[in-house]
Structure 1
Amino acid sequence: MVVRRVVYRLLFPLAVALPVWVLVTRGVLLDGIGWSFLGYLVVSPILFFALLVIGGLIVWRPGVRQERAVSLWDAVVLGALWLVLLAAGFVAHPAIVAAAVLLVLGAFWFAAWELVTESRRRLKAAMDDIDATLAGARASVPPPQQPRPPQPPRPPQQPQSVDIGEVIVVTSKDVTPPAPDGRAS
């Protein structure tokens, strides 16, 4: 649980730090200023945006926000991605670049799949709750009864008057009686 919470807290700081790490280490320190630096200058913002979107998809899940921890599989996928990006800062091997690209794409689709799965599960639970509520409401309504045989009439009772207090009636017309001298009041 501790690792999952740490990964949750590092989602957005590492979305900034890892592209800067790759840009500075590969683009400036190891490869020097030149065409490769321009390549890293283009790739770093794309990597930043991709990590930001992946983090957003993960945090968008209500279960992740409630627990303030990512799922175990999120932690594994993100840990592997972060390690490959750290290694990409040290070594410029095509296999590391390919692994980084595949892990970024895989992490994106995995986060999207988990978001859809959790949303579907929550929607199904809500619909089941609604169905159970409606079934309970239907069960509480008594079934129609058979008609009763006619009973002899009861003697009429006097209606009881009930005092409800002062009543104010509001109308759209002036209903004030005219004054005795004929002028309106």
Structure 2
Amino acid sequence: MPQKNEAALEFLLTRRSRPAKTLTGPVPTRDELQPILEAALRSPDHGKLEPWRLIVLEKGALERLAGLAQSRGVELGLDADKIAKSHSQFDMADLAVAVVESPVISEKVPAIEQTYSAGAVCLQLLNAALAAGWGANWLSGWPAHDPEFLARGLDLAPHERLAGFIHIGTEKMAPPERPRPDPERKITWVSS
């Protein structure tokens, strides 16, 4: 019989992202953030290609990105509400980590598996932050999919994409529990 890690299983069964707008300071120090980042890098990675990288965005960088979201949204002709939402995602934040998918050419590992690995880094980073006692949320929005925003704001190369922004901070209010998927509807057992 395998040895259970009851605390880890209980954490996974009860984990809950915290809305980014409910996160405030203090945020983890660099020393406190380091093991969280290292946990994220232990994500599944077929072929050990490491097709991702992390950009830690501190307050000054987030303020710069808020301004870029504002100006870029205007350039794109987006409606004011959409621009305001993206602006506040960065402006209200004190710390976020951009998870960048940086695919590696490989005959063995298809690009889609590298995309999945970048997504796994996002989830591992989110869960590590929560397990360390911080509030955390995985966000995207139009800036995460706009190549010009990503090139100007994060210096992403043309072949790179953003898997997500993981916001981390102190939770100022716990959200109510939300409905979860019904296992009876989502799980299929196949015996033969």
Q: TM-score range by the shorter chain?
A: under 0.3
Larger radius of gyration: 1
Higher percent of residues as strand: 2
TM-score by length of 2: 0.25
TM-score by length of 1: 0.26
Higher percent of residues as helix: 1
